[in-house]
């Protein structure tokens, strides 16, 4: 992960949720007393928009293994029809 000084390795804990903020001690902006402040890093999750059938199936199976119902959009736009 890039910091103000140099790139560092940081292990994101398992189960980390979107918008979680981590504090990296003494990796921030330099202070007057020759120390550094803390750098705060927020986790941003990017969800893929276009999945193929195999990928959608894998996500469904993963959800089932967690005993959760997972709705996976096919990526195709549905047409709304006026019935009456």
46-81 pLDDT, tens digit each: 878 889 999 989 988 988 898 877 776 665 555 555
Is the separation of the CB atoms in 21 and 42 below 8 Å? yes
59 burial via Cβ count (<10 Å: 0-12, 13-18, 19+): middle
> How confident is the model at residue 3, as a pLDDT?
87
Instruction: Judge if 1 and 40 occupy the same domain.
Output: yes
Q: Which residues form the domain of 55?
A: 47-75
Residue 83 lies in a domain: no
* Reported pTM: 0.62
In a domain, 81, yes or no: no
Please check whether residues 23 and 52 belong to one and the same domain.
Answer: no
Residue 84 lies in a domain: no
**Count of domains forming the chain:** 2
**End-to-end alpha carbon distance in the chain:** 57
């Amino acid at each position: 992960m890039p910091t103000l000084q140099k790139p560092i390795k940081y292990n994101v804990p398992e189960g980390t949720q979107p918008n979680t903020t981590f504090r990296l001690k003494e990796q921030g902006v330099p202070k007057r007393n020759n120390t550094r402040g803390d750098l705060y890093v927020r986790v941003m999750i990017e969800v893929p928009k276009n999945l193929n059938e195999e990928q959608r199936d894998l996500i469904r199976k993963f959800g089932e293994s967690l005993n959760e119902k997972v709705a996976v959009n096919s990526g195709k736009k549905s047409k709304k029809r006026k019935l009456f």
